[in-house]
Homo-oligomer: A and B are copies of this chain.
Amino acid sequence: MTQHASMRAVVMESLGDYGPLALQEVPTPIPGDGEVLARVCTSGVNRADLLQRHGKHPAPAGWPKDILGLEFSGVVEALGPDTSRWRVGDRVMGLLGGGGYAEYVTAHGSTLVPVPEGMTEHDAGAIPEVFLTAFDAAVMQMGLDAGEVLLIHAVGSGVGTSALQIGKALGAVTIGTSRTPEKLETAKALGLDHAVLGDEEWPERVLELTDGRGVDVILDLVGGPYLEGNQRVVARRGRHIVVGVPGGTSGQIDLRAMMLRRVTMKGTVLRARPLDEKVVLTRAFEERLLPFFSSGELKPVIDRVFPPEDVELAHEVMASNENFGKLLLHWE
């Protein structure tokens, strides 16, 4: 393994106007204090990348502004100063603030996780963003516990399929909604306990499934249109976490109902958190979920893999919302 002075990367030629993406030679990044340099095997494509191309979701300070990419899986190539945990050749995966669409990335060592035993670093590239988002929201923030009922809206999405697997692995009962019957079937094949079509009747069906008690945790990847229904189906001491609002951003809320049932609502985003928060999340993820990947109970869901040259095609598929599972770029 040799370090190269330059590498291939997908570069945004202009910022904020959804302009072309070009595969270019750029300088290989140099790992700073506590950082590792990793050779990327696969980089995940995320909806946030499309927003960033539109100028709506700029990279946080300290990350490349013109190279998209929020996650990767690969192999440690070199160590920066004061990096104790990793060795050259270790297989790692993790979240990035940007720069993931490239042959090499740098990341703080304490934000990386080993690629699970028995899994290729190719497939592991489909893990970080969706599984960490679902784990952070449902488990770390909302305290999902064994025996509780987890309701996942847009269960066919990347975060949705991750959440349903995590819910199952941790002993929760999972209910998922989708407007697409085929996505519900595929979610059931992944272990979803109860599939509910996301039409106007979904709150009634969720209440029936829970004998009128309602659900303990709502992982909300839809937003406004489901807000009224969410307030109807949330159980006493229920927790509703808003992770995405593609369906609409606003709605009416009943504060008295929130009081009487002692309901918590929370909004969350994963990106742009300070390092210390990311470290806590990464370590908890490694401790609690990594064994389930090694045992096969948790599985990354991959729809398609593209060569970096076809990145714009990958973005078109993402925009069309046709995929079930992750879209990856493969570097070799």
Question: Could you tell me which A residues sit within 8 Å of B by CB distance?
Answer: 223-224, 227, 242-245, 249-269
* List of B residues within 8 angstroms of A266 by Cβ: 258, 262-265
* List of B residues within 8 angstroms of A259 by Cβ: 242-245, 267-269
Q: Which residue of B lies closest to A268 (CB)?
A: B262
* List of B residues within 8 angstroms of A256 by Cβ: 223, 245, 249-250, 267
In the complex, are the beta carbons of A242 and B255 less than 8 A apart? Answer: yes
* List of B residues within 8 angstroms of A253 by Cβ: 227, 250-253
In the complex, are the beta carbons of A255 and B251 less than 8 A apart? Answer: yes
Contacting A267 at CB < 8 Å: which of B227, B250, B255?
Answer: B255
Q: Which residue of B lies closest to A261 (CB)?
A: B267
Q: Which residue of B lies closest to A250 (CB)?
A: B254
Q: Please tell me how many copies of the chain the complex holds.
A: 2
In the complex, are the beta carbons of B267 and A257 less than 8 A apart? Answer: yes
Contacting A265 at CB < 8 Å: which of B250, B251, B265, B268?
Answer: B265
In the assembled complex, the Cα of A254 lies from the Cα of B223 at a distance in Å of 10
* List of B residues within 8 angstroms of A265 by Cβ: 258, 264-266
Q: Which residue of B lies closest to A266 (CB)?
A: B264
* List of B residues within 8 angstroms of A267 by Cβ: 255-263
Q: Which residue of B lies closest to A267 (CB)?
A: B258
* List of B residues within 8 angstroms of A261 by Cβ: 267
Contacting A264 at CB < 8 Å: which of B252, B255, B264?
Answer: B264
* List of B residues within 8 angstroms of A252 by Cβ: 250-253
Instruction: Show 18 A/B contacts (Cβ-Cβ < 8 Å), sorted by A.
Output: A223-B255, A242-B258, A249-B255, A249-B257, A250-B256, A251-B255, A252-B252, A253-B253, A257-B267, A258-B266, A259-B267, A259-B268, A259-B269, A260-B269, A262-B267, A263-B267, A264-B264, A265-B265
- Distance in angstroms from A56 CB to nearest chain B CB is 11
Shortest 8 CB-CB contacts between residues of A and residues of B: A258-B267, A259-B267, A249-B256, A265-B265, A264-B266, A253-B253, A245-B255, A242-B255
